[in-house]
Amino acid sequence: SAVAAGPARPPTPKAAVKVPRSIDEVDNGKVLGFSSELSEDHPGFQDSAYKQRRMHICDLARAHRIGEPIPRIEYSADEVAVWGTVLQQLRGLLPQHACKEFLRCWQLFDFRADQVPQLEDLSQVLQAHTGFRIRPVAGLLHPRDFLNGLAFKTFHSTQYMRHVSRPDYTPEPDVVHEVIGHVPMLADPDFANLVQLIGIASLGADEKQIWHLTKLYWYSVEFGVVREGDDIKAFGAGILSSFGELRHMAAGGARLEPLDVFQPQPKMSYKDGYQQRYAVLDSFAAGAEQLKAYCATLHHTIPLDVRIAVGLQ
Ligand code: HBI
Ligand code: FE
């Protein structure tokens, strides 16, 4: 009866979201993507030597600790050939279709077709320009951990190569996507600031907010385009690192809509070919202003020491 049940209990509070106080507290072990077995739609599914190689590189990532240099990988001739093929193809399209920030930062890196860049070297360049660092990871990281890492100016990057049978395609992030798509942009201060703000918004965010931020990340860092006068240029890594997607963008293959971080974002599509829609920024500074305003509407509190650690006033 009501009497025997005693006074009503306050509703059980939702499990508190853990806010990491430094990058060491961001877990890089919860990987959502492919396990060692891959799956039927992965180009390396039937190639046991490939799976072993990929797992070996993933194991190195799992063993890595912040502060240690990122292990150098001796890439095989096949792996270098894949890298070289993609680099050569993209070199034909990027000068015309990548944003000016990308092209400026690209020159810092001096990529060569006969050598896969080492994450440790790239991380050093980024640290010198924007303070961003690279942390190796074994695959698609849990969105909360991935986004939290950005708050601490840490970009989690895979280090294994896509399968040699499909230089133009990968169903998961790989070192080509990270190095060509993400790394140069992270050397640009305005872009780096925007990315860090997405990360800061994720600290202590609830699951719904994490999902919204995942979509904002998708429609900006992965598939964003930016206005340059009358032109539209690519800054999203999913465009910059894909010959097909770049041509699709250049041909006006997707509709363009201004990015509005307060609006619900469209469903993301990973698998059905090229993007049907790109979100447009007027500039990275304008995108950052929007994100700051969005952060101010999030009602969770970030502990003071974390606010200081990430440079929030
Ligand atoms: N993990 N390694 C890696 N690379 C990404 O680009 C990535 C990720 N985990 C989640 C993720 N991207 C997005 O779904 C957003 O949550 C940011
Ligand atoms: Fe990516």
pLDDT, one tens digit per residue, over 150-173 is 999 999 999 999 999 999 999 999
Position 14 scores a pLDDT of: 66
| Ligand 1 pocket residue status of 138, Cβ below 6 Å | no
How many angstroms is it from 238 CA to the middle of ligand 2? Answer: 6
Active-site residue, 182 included: yes
Q: Which two structure tokens, joined as six digits, stand for 79?
A: 């792996």
Q: What is the pLDDT of residue 13?
A: 61
Which of 27, 54, 146 is the best mutation target for the ligand 1 pocket, counting ligand atoms within 8 Å of the beta carbon and taking the most? 146
Q: How far is residue 60's CA from residue 287's CA, in Å, rounded to a whole number?
A: 36
Q: What is the pLDDT of residue 122?
A: 98
pLDDT tens, residue by residue, 186-195? 999 999 999 9
Ligand 1: nearest atom to the Cα of 156: 2
- Residue nearest (by alpha carbon) to ligand 1 atom 11: 143
Does 1 score more than 60 pLDDT? no
At 89-147, the pLDDT tens digits run 999 999 999 999 999 999 999 999 999 999 999 999 999 999 999 999 999 999 999 99
- pLDDT tens digits for 2-56? 445 566 766 666 677 889 999 999 999 999 888 778 889 999 999 999 999 999 9
pTM of the model: 0.93
Judged by average pLDDT, the poorest of 123-137, 242-256, 262-276 is: 262-276
Q: d(Cα 134, Cα 175) in Å, to the nearest integer?
A: 12
Q: Mean pLDDT in the chain?
A: 92
From the alpha carbon of 143, which atom of ligand 1 is closest?
16
The question of whether 248 is a catalytic residue gets the answer no
pLDDT of residue 238 exceeding 70:
yes
222 CB-near residues (< 8 Å, 6+ apart): 236, 237, 238
- φ, ψ (nearest 5 deg) of residue 27: -75, 125
Q: Is 141 in the pocket of ligand 1 (CB under 6 A)?
A: yes
Report CA(139)–ligand 1 centroid distance (Å). Answer: 9
> Any idea which ligand is nearest the CA of 157?
1
pLDDT number for residue 301: 75
- Ligand number nearest to the C-alpha of 26: 1
SS3 (DSSP) at 160:
coil
Could you tell me the distance, in angstroms and rounded to a whole number, from the CA of residue 32 to the centre of ligand 1? 9
Q: Look at residue 230 and tell me whether its pLDDT is greater than 70.
A: yes
Q: What is the mean pLDDT of residues 277-290?
A: 95
For the Cβ of 220 lying below 6 angstroms from any atom of ligand 1, the answer is no
Q: Is the pLDDT of residue 269 over 80?
A: no
Is 289 among the residues known to form the active site? no
Q: For residue 159, which of 141, 133, 138 has the smallest C-alpha distance?
A: 138
Q: Where are the alpha helices (DSSP H) in the chain?
A: 48-63, 77-91, 94-97, 100-106, 119-129, 143-151, 175-176, 183-186, 189-202, 207-217, 237-240, 243-250, 284-297, 304-309
Q: What is the pLDDT of residue 299?
A: 73
Distances (CA, A) of 223 to 97, 132, 181, 256: 13, 20, 10, 11
Distance CA 297, CA 181 (A): 30
Q: Which ligand is nearest to the CA of 156?
A: 1
**Active-site residue flag, 64:** no
Choose, from 79, 241, 242, 248, the residue flagged as catalytic.
241
Options 101, 172, 178, 222, the catalytic residue? 222
What's the Cα-to-Cα distance from 263 to each of 9, 69, 161, 203, rounded to whole Å? Answer: 36, 41, 36, 20
Quick one: tokens of 116? 């896969």
